[in-house]
Amino acid sequence: MDKYEIVKKIEKFAPVETQEQWDCSGWGVECSKSRLGIPAQQNEINRILFCLTVTDNIINQAREKNCDMIISHHPLFYVPIEWKDINIYSAHTNLDLAEGGTTDTLIAKLGFKKSENQSFVRIVRLDNAISAEELKQKLLKIAPKLRYVNNFNQTEVKTIGFCAGSGSEFVNETECDAFVTGDLKFHTALELNKLTFDIGHFESEIFAPELLKEITQVKERGIIADEKSPFI
């Protein structure tokens, strides 16, 4: 597999120029030579590990499984020198913004159908209202340790806003009955004007590695990393 052809597939789906200005999507480590000894001019990749976040554990998994490339959702803002012998590429906010991207995948996994996009936020408009409890039970299937805020004792939901990852900044400005995201902070929660679920940053984005593998179409030569939320 040519690593640049693989990256082209990702960037066709989620153009790297659409990332936020602060983001570091793209090549984190671009090796001139494979750690498996393949000449640089061939740009050949034997196997790819797909993950949410690159850590020492992920690097070790890649080495154990003879992967010479890692494709992650979260980008690298700093690269330890001991990681620089393996290709690392990330698609972050550009994947979040892309049609069919991170939040759209979360919505599909929950069995909902997106109605419209509002930048990073996706809106689901239900034909018939469901109870707040029913929505909670759906979310518990992928986020058994979710937290939620219901300052106004809402009992029914017909429109739901979704933002995978850290989306609490969009909660109050989004017109919907309920909002689903991760990383909800205490002071934000105090002022929330709608039913809001914090399903966890990890849980809201854990389908991104599977999505990236699907985009690249590497099949059996792609491996999904074994990752767990750091929160117990």
pLDDT of res. 137 = 97
pLDDT tens for the chain, residues 1 to 232: 999 999 999 999 999 999 999 999 999 999 876 555 555 546 899 999 999 999 999 999 999 999 999 999 999 999 999 999 999 999 999 999 999 999 999 999 999 999 999 999 999 999 999 999 999 999 999 999 999 999 999 999 999 999 999 999 999 999 999 999 999 999 999 999 999 999 999 999 999 999 999 999 999 999 999 999 999 8
Half-sphere exposure of 29 (CA within 13 A, CB side): 23
Burial class (CB in 10 A: 0-12, 13-18, 19+), 206: buried
Name all domains of the chain by residue range, CATH numbers in brackets: 3-96+206-224 (3.40.1390.30), 97-204 (3.40.1390.30)
Among 160, 161, 149, smallest CA distance to 195 is for: 149
Among 129, 133, 188, smallest CA distance to 160 is for: 129
Instruction: Characterize 169-201 residue by residue with b for buried, 16 or more Cβ atoms within 10 angstroms of its Cβ, and e for exposed.
Output: ebbeebebbbbbbbebeeebbeebebbbbbbbb
Residue 136 near residue 158 (C-beta atoms within 8 A) = no
Amino acid found at 2? D
Among 222, 225, 206, smallest CA distance to 214 is for: 222
**3-class SS of residue 194:** coil
Residue 198 near residue 146 (C-beta atoms within 8 A) = yes
Residue 29 pairs in a beta bridge with 88
Among 94, 104, 103, 73, smallest CA distance to 12 is for: 94
Q: Rounded to whole angstroms, how far apart are CA atoms 62 and 50?
A: 9
Q: How many CB atoms lie within 10 A of CB 124?
A: 20
Whole-model pTM? 0.94
Residue 36 pairs in a beta bridge with none
Amino acid found at 33? K
